[in-house]
Chain A
Amino acid sequence: NAGVMQNPRHLVRRRGQEARLRCSPMKGHSHVYWYRQLPEEGLKFMVYLQKENIIDESGMPKERFSAEFPKEGPSILRIQQVVRGDSAAYFCASSLRTGENTEAFFGQGTRLTVV
């Protein structure tokens, strides 16, 4: 049973380009979360999705960032017109359910570098 798969592992973009980060949850998991970790900082919640639905996007920047989790295929975190401050590690996690003591499993992350 493969874990949470993220690709690419490393992504370099020039300022103004678009970045697309992909996440395939663990088999059977329908809950997906995206987190961002800036250098020397803790992980910050961005968005929580279930299949075809955004449940909570309270951690998403208001502009340039969007996320989806289509019926078929991986979850996508999309960053338009990237800026240097977007450089970070982006982690995706998935869980089988939500609620007390639910374990979330993390992917290996995508390290985005904006040059």
Chain B
Amino acid sequence: RKEVEQDPGPFNVPEGATVAFNCTYSNSASQSFFWYRQDCRKEPKLLMSVYSSGNEDGRFTAQLNRASQYISLLIRDSKLSDSATYLCVVNHSGAGSYQLTFGKGTKLSVIP
């Protein structure tokens, strides 16, 4: 089982639509959770951290279910500029190390 699994997509949605991405992780000791965004041939950029209580940042809402080891990202009122690959990322620190484990990403295309 892969450490972080995501549906690769692509998700093709019209402008203004609401779209949701899901992610599961295998390491129950994971401590921190993030969604990153990666544009084509660019570096990953942090979109938002994901907290146990769920959190919202404008049109973006992230949820975490530790019992099910499941993370989600909801994007409301999609914009053309939201087109990108969304990376689910988990961290587990241990033995003095700090590693981010990335999913392969879910590709989103927002269509005019």
Contacts and interface: CB of A to CB of B under 8 A. Distances in A.
Main secondary structure of the interface of B (DSSP, over half): strand
Contacts of A91: 43-44
A53 B97 CA distance: 12
Interface in A68-87: none
Interface in B1-34: 4, 31-32, 34
B104 A98 contact: no
Interface in A6-23: none
Interface residues of A, number: 30
Contact of A41 (B34, B45, B97, B104): B104
Nearest to B94: A56
B105 A42 contact: yes
Contacts of B105: 42
A52 interface: no
Given A43-B44, A108-B42, A100 B31 contact: yes
B43 A108 contact: yes
A55 B97 CA distance: 6
Nearest to A40: B104
Contacts of B104: 41-42
A101 B49 contact: yes
Given A33-B100, A42-B87, A43-B102, A109 B46 contact: no
Interface in A57-115: 58-59, 89, 91, 93, 95, 98-109, 111
A33 to B, nearest CB: 7
